[in-house]
């Protein structure tokens, strides 16, 4: 496991450093799971547990966006609409068809994945700002469709979406819901690591850098573009469903507007676009900073906008990139020191 | 695992804990303080004024020694009319700030999820502005509405128009929530009481700019009343274009309550003259309390004719103060739940007369009959449009508690 | 016959970039393609590799299979690999990753097992990495495996582009000006590498090159293009004496002796 999706096995093979072992991977995951399992008990109050739930949902969302935007390089502004589709599918299935959460969630994920494939279609022909505009148009039409459709609660919203229940126990507290969200977030992060370190992740990066060269190297560009959109939609659908069933179980089209999309983009950009940890770091930092600045609501959007611009201008690799550089520098210094000692 | 993951994971965890630690600081609850959380939509100038009025009214008692010796501390947050933001605000009020009372919110779509939370966490909530009928219908013991429910507004339109103007109504409206509710309820009322069907109706998108083709068709149906609904800017276009296509002045322009927003007469100009809408308050009100209030708003917030959201913010804060004064509060951390209950019970006994068109009165049962406190709707008409618009009250209708509940 | 191209044409606007070109390449052959700037060499490569579609009437058979009009990744997966004049290496990916992308078509695991991260995936990744490290060692870039490709020097980038094309384990390798911008010493080194790769993997090669010495020294057969048309084809010796070629390159006025001297480099 590495910091930036590049490979460590290679220098190990050539420089004779210790090879990566499966035990150490396992240890890292066990430690991570351990920390995450006790985290809500360390929280001071229920509000922080609520924030933890929110952070983890945002992590799922941002990790998904990072796959399509950061790795595959597709400039999409439609991710928030995919979340809306996940949330509404799950909510409708639960409230109108009596689906339990455990069935509504995977159904919502499936429907959103399908929608993701559709959102991805313009990417075959469009790039950059044009693709952004096309996906923005799709996203807005989803929201307008919802707000004009009585069956979907129109501009009233959907109320009383039931929380998940387990063996007759309603998971409607922030603490119990954490144990629904956390494993899903963890699984999402694990899968994203696997995907991004496999040939699929390399194909994504290759088509981001140069679609023509990628095609000449035997990569089916359309297939991988669609795959990136579908994968990210799976994350968005899962996050949407989780947000819908979280107490008090209410969703409304106002939660899926451009401002939310900007916040989401900020997570990925600030965290480190195309960095394997980018979405995770970004979601954590942005959700917490957003909460800390809640009292300064008059300036919040202004500050967030400025942070995006400044990050893009002066810190294009985001926090993840800075951590990488720190690690690389440290490794370099250590190497030089070792050489110096030898001499 | 290499250095990379270790550092990444450690960084992530420490950032998270640091964040939690920082957020924890303002949580320390002080004794002998009554904490009130207010969440409103404060995106626009007027929204900021609503929040400021509510906060100022509540904290004004501190200069006079507080309430029974206790200081009032107000935490004011913006929810941008977004349910997820409102939910986060209220979670913070309840669990972190440990408030005794919550005021909120502006949009019904925010007030509804909040009401579910206050019901579950057992915190009294005063609703200053939301009008959706269902807010008080879920049986929460903790909710009190100061604003006029849509069921009364719809009745006021229907009753007044049916008795005084006519029953031939054409409808033109956009997809905004309050507008749709207004149209539906007016139609239902006309059907139920006069068996009158709409002579024409069309729903447009919020972003539509040109309504003239529909207005021409409406003109040919020769209606007595033109009902328009939407956000105030769409409303202004609808009114202007209705004159452009030549729908005569004698046809009453009846608008959803968003016509009370100050941007409507500004944008519509002279086309606003004659537009009739319902409000809980009118700035031409001659009562001393109202005159004083209008003068204060004019001086402090530069709004010459405050709409009912100003008055409702003020009324809600006043009611909160009365209730806090009546309740026997212990104000210790341990007694938080008791204090919340005491405040709830105090609000339930209130009969208050303030800026609203009629008295606001609550009772103990968790029903809309008891919790829709304000049952007086006023019909207001613009007599002058533009920046320095003027209005007059054309009718005032009070209803009994059961009105519009379909029993 | 490994590659059989018949009647390939491509117009841009009204201009014929390639017009009715045939190209037949035997297995194991090294074919050179020369011609002045704008004579259609790169367009021909783009047509063969599927980047452009040939106009109706053109056909292409590879290894006995009709591969006319297939998209680029399909053509690549049949075993036709190419480099680009502008290299187009993935500069933000590491050197090793560049090769792994090239090697993608030989991966023996599916997307689902990649998502779950099965042990088989890890084993396969280890195999691929080891194999690509071998290839890197062969082209002399092993020390740079974890470096972002963008940080390599010009000559190293050319080697990397070659390596990425080789990672695909192609039957046919098409090199678009592999030696452009290299010093004479490096040109020799590159040629040596190319030839040893050919030996080791039994390649068939098509080389577009401006440096005529390269073509004349290494190619079995040379095809000459001008204004999109094939004007000559033959052994390097035959080409050297072909008047069409001399005219195309140097204009009519130049004396034969000077031309020969020039062509010999």
Question: Which residues of chain A lie closer than 8 angstroms to B175, CB-CB?
Answer: 144, 147-148, 154-155
Residue of C nearest to A202 (CA): C101
| Residue B96 to residue A48, Cβ atoms within 8 A | yes
d(CA C165, CA C203): 12
- Please report, for residues B56, B263, B309, B320, the alpha-carbon distance to residue B65 in angstroms, rounded to integers and kept in the order given: 15, 39, 29, 17
Give pLDDT tens digits for A8-59. 444 433 333 344 567 888 898 999 999 999 999 998 899 999 999 999 999 9
Q: Which residues contact A293 (CB under 8 A, 6 or more apart)?
A: A299, A300, A303
Q: How many CA atoms lie within 13 A of A15 on its CB side?
A: 14
Contact in structure between B144 and B125 (CB atoms under 8 Å): yes
Neighbours of chain B (3+ CB pairs under 8 A): A
A248 Cβ under 8 Å from any chain B Cβ: yes
What does the angle CA A257 – CA A258 – CA A260 come to, to the nearest 5 degrees? Answer: 70
Q: Where are the alpha helices (DSSP H) in B66-211?
A: 83-91, 108-121, 150-164, 177-194
Q: Which residues contact A121 (CB under 8 A, 6 or more apart)?
A: none
Instruction: List A residues 252-311 in contact with B (Cβ-Cβ < 8 A).
Output: 252, 254-255, 257, 259, 277, 280-281, 284-285, 288-289, 291-292, 294-295, 297-298
| Residue C168 to residue A217, Cβ atoms within 8 A | yes
Strand pairing class (C59-62; C172-176): unpaired
Residue of A nearest to B77 (CA): A295
Show the beta-strand stretches assigned E in C92-228: 172-176, 204-208, 221-226
Q: Name the least confident of B4-8, B167-171, B248-252, B354-358.
A: B4-8
Residue B269: pLDDT above 50? yes
Give pLDDT tens digits for B106-131. 999 999 999 999 999 999 999 999 99
Locate B38 and state its tokens: 């207010």
Give pLDDT tens digits for A251-273. 999 999 988 998 999 999 999 98
| C-alpha distance from B21 to closest chain A C-alpha (Å) | 9
Question: Which residues of chain C lie closer than 8 angstroms to A195, CB-CB?
Answer: 114-115
Instruction: List A residues 174-193 in contact with B (Cβ-Cβ < 8 A).
Output: 174
Please, which pLDDT band fits residue A147 given cuts at 50, 70 and 90? Answer: confident
Locate CATH 3.40.50.300 in chain C.
1-79+170-265
Residue B26: pLDDT above 60? no
Q: Name the least confident of A38-47, A296-305, B214-223, B304-313.
A: A296-305
Locate A85 and state its tokens: 């589709």
Residue of C nearest to A217 (CA): C102
Residue of A nearest to C46 (CA): A216
Residue A65: which of A88, A87, A81 has the closest Cα? A81
Residue of A nearest to C117 (CA): A194
Question: Which residues of chain C lie closer than 8 angstroms to A218, CB-CB?
Answer: 73, 76-77, 102, 104-105, 168
Domains and CATH numbers, chain B: 30-149+288-375 (3.40.50.2300), 151-284+378-398 (3.40.50.2300)
Question: Looking at residues B358-363, what average pLDDT do you find?
Answer: 95
Residue range C1-79+170-265 in CATH 3.40.50.300: yes
Give pLDDT tens digits for C69-80. 999 999 999 999
Whole-model pTM above 0.90?
A: no
Question: Which residues of chain B lie closer than 8 angstroms to A147, CB-CB?
Answer: 175, 177, 206
Question: Looking at residues A236-249, what average pLDDT do you find?
Answer: 97
Residue B10: pLDDT above 70? no
Residue of B nearest to A25 (CA): B1
pLDDT at A8: 40
Residue B15: pLDDT above 60? no
Candidate from B24, B48, B109 with C-beta closest to A155: B109
Question: Looking at residues A171-184, what average pLDDT do you find?
Answer: 96
pLDDT at A314: 86
| C-alpha distance from A306 to closest chain C C-alpha (Å) | 27
Residue B217: pLDDT above 50? yes
Give pLDDT tens digits for C163-191. 999 999 999 999 999 888 888 888 888 88
Candidate from B2, B108, B116 with C-beta closest to A20: B2
d(CA B19, CA A294): 13
pLDDT at B185: 85
Residue A200: which of A160, A173, A218, A227 has the closest Cα? A227
d(CA A71, CA A204): 6
| C-alpha distance from B181 to closest chain A C-alpha (Å) | 9
Rounded to the nearest integer, the mean pLDDT of chain A is 88
Strand pairing class (C3-12; C15-25): antiparallel
Please, which pLDDT band fits residue B1 given cuts at 50, 70 and 90? Answer: very low
Q: How crowded is residue A323: how many other Cβ atoms within 10 Å of its Cβ?
A: 22
Do C and B touch (≥3 CB pairs < 8 Å)?
no
Question: What percent of chain A lies above the pLDDT cut of 90?
Answer: 64
Candidate from C90, C116, C142 with C-beta closest to A206: C90
Question: Which residues of chain B lie closer than 8 angstroms to A146, CB-CB?
Answer: none
Q: How many CA atoms lie within 13 A of A107 on its CB side?
A: 15
A219 Cβ under 8 Å from any chain C Cβ: yes
Please, which pLDDT band fits residue A156 given cuts at 50, 70 and 90? Answer: confident
| Residue C116 to residue A191, Cβ atoms within 8 A | yes
Q: pLDDT higher for B248 or B230?
A: B248
Q: Which DSSP string do the residues of B329-363 spell out, in sequence order?
A: ---SSTTHHHHHHHHHHHHTT-EE-SSSSS-EE--
User: Which ranges of chain C have pLDDT less than 70?
Assistant: 250-265
C170 Cβ under 8 Å from any chain A Cβ: no
Question: Which residues of chain B lie closer than 8 angstroms to A8, CB-CB?
Answer: 2, 4
Q: Name the least confident of A80-84, A339-343, B139-143, C188-192.
A: A339-343
């Amino acid at each position: 496991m590495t910091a930036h999706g590049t490979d460590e096995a290679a220098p190990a093979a050539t420089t004779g450093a210790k090879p990566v072992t499966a035990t150490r991977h396992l240890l890292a995951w066990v430690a991570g799971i351990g920390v995450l399992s006790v985290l809500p008990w360390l929280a001071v109050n229920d509000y922080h547990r609520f924030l933890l739930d929110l952070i983890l949902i945002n992590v799922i969302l941002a990790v998904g966006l990072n796959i399509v935007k950061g790795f595959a390089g597709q400039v999409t502004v439609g991710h928030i609409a995919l979340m809306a589709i996940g949330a509404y599918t799950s909510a409708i299935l639960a409230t109108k068809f009596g689906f339990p959460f455990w069935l509504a969630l995977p159904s919502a994920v499936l429907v959103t994945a399908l929608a993701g494939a559709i959102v991805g279609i313009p990417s075959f022909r469009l790039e950059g700002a044009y693709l952004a505009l096309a996906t923005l148009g799709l996203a807005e039409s989803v929201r307008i469709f919802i707000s004009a459709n009585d069956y979907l609660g129109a501009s009233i919203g959907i109320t009383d979406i039931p929380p998940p229940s387990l063996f007759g126990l309603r998971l409607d507290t922030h603490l119990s819901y954490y144990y629904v969200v956390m494993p899903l977030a963890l699984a999402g992060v694990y899968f994203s690591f696997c995907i991004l370190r496999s040939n699929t992740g390399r194909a994504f990066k290759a088509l981001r850098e140069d679609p023509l060269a990628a095609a000449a190297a035997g990569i089916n560009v359309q297939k991988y573009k669609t795959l990136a959109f579908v994968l990210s939609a799976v994350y968005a659908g899962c996050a949407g469903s989780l947000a819908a069933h979280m107490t008090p179980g209410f969703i409304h089209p106002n939660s899926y507007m451009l401002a939310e999309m900007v916040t989401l983009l900020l997570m990925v950009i600030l965290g480190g676009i195309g960095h394997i940890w980018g979405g995770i770091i970004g979601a954590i930092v942005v959700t917490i900073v957003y909460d800390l600045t809640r009292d300064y609501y008059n300036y919040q959007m202004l500050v967030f906008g400025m942070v995006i611009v400044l990050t893009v201008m002066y810190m294009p690799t985001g926090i993840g990139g800075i951590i990488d550089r720190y690690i690389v520098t440290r490794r370099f210094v250590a190497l030089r020191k070792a050489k110096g000692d030898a001499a | 695992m290499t250095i990379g993951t270790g550092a990444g994971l450690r960084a992530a965890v420490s950032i998270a804990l640091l964040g939690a630690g920082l957020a924890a600081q303002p949580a320390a609850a002080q004794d002998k303080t009554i904490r009130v959380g207010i969440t409103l939509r404060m995106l626009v100038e007027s929204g900021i004024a609503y929040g400021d009025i509510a906060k100022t009214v509540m904290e004004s008692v501190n200069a006079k020694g507080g309430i029974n010796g206790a200081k009032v501390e107000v935490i004011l947050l913006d929810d941008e009319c977004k349910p997820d933001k409102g939910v986060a605000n209220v979670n913070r009020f309840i669990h972190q700030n440990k408030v005794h009372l919550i005021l909120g919110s502006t949009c019904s779509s925010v007030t509804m999820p909040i009401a579910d939370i206050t019901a579950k966490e057992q915190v009294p909530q005063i609703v200053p502005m939301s009008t959706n009928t269902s807010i008080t219908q879920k049986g929460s013991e903790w909710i009190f509405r100061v604003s006029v429910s849509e069921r009364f507004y719809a009745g006021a339109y229907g009753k007044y128009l049916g008795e005084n103007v006519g029953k031939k109504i054409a409808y033109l409206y956009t997809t905004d929530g309050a507008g749709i509710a207004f149209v539906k309820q007016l139609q239902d009322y006309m059907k139920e009481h006069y068996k009158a069907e709409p002579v024409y109706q069309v729903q447009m998108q919020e972003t539509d700019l040109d309504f003239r083709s529909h207005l021409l068709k409406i003109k040919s149906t020769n209606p007595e009343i033109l009902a328009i609904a939407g956000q105030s800017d769409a409303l202004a276009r609808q009114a202007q274009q209705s004159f452009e296509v030549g729908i005569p002045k004698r046809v009453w322009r009846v608008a959803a309550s968003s016509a009370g927003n100050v941007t409507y007469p500004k944008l519509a100009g002279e086309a606003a003259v004659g537009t009739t809408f319902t409000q809980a308050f009118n700035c031409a009100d001659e009562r001393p309390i109202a005159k004083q209030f209008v003068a204060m708003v004019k001086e402090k917030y530069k709004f010459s004719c405050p709409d009912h959201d100003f008055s409702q913010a003020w009324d809600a804060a006043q009611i909160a103060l009365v209730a806090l004064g009546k309740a026997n509060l212990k104000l210790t951390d341990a007694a938080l739940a008791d204090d919340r209950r005491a405040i709830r019970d105090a609000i339930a006994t209130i009969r208050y007369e303030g800026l609203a068109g009629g008295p606001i009165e609550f009772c103990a049962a968790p029903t809309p009959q008891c919790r829709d406190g304000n049952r007086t709707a006023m019909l207001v008409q613009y007599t002058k449009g533009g920046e320095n618009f003027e209005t007059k009250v054309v009718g005032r209708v009070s209803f009994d508690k059961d009105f519009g509940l379909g029993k | 016959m490994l590659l059989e191209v018949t009647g390939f044409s491509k117009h841009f606007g009204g201009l014929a970039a390639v017009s009715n070109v045939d190209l037949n390449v035997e297995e194991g052959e090294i074919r050179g393609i020369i011609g002045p700037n704008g004579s259609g060499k790169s367009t021909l490569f783009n047509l063969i590799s599927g980047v452009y579609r040939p106009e109706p009437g053109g056909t292409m058979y590879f290894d006995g299979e009709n591969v006319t009009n297939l998209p680029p990744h399909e053509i690549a997966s049949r075993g036709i690999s190419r480099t680009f004049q502008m290299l187009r290496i993935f500069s933000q990916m590491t050197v090793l990753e560049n090769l792994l992308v090239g090697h993608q078509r030989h991966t023996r695991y599916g997307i689902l097992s990649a998502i779950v991260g099965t042990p088989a995936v890890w084993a396969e990744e280890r195999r691929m990495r080891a194999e690509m490290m071998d290839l890197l060692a062969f082209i002399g870039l092993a020390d740079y495996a974890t470096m972002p490709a963008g940080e390599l020097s010009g000559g190293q980038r050319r080697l990397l582009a070659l390596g990425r094309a080789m990672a695909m384990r192609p039957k046919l390798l098409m090199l678009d000006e592999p030696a452009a911008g290299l010093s004479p010493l490096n040109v020799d080194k590159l040629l040596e590498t190319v030839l040893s790769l050919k030996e080791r993997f039994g390649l068939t090669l098509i080389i577009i090159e401006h440096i005529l010495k390269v073509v004349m020294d290494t190619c079995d057969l040379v095809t000459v293009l001008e204004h999109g048309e094939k004007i000559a084809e033959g052994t390097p010796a035959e080409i050297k004496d072909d008047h069409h070629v001399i005219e195309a390159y140097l204009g009519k006025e130049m004396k034969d002796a000077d031309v020969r001297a020039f062509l010999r480099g």
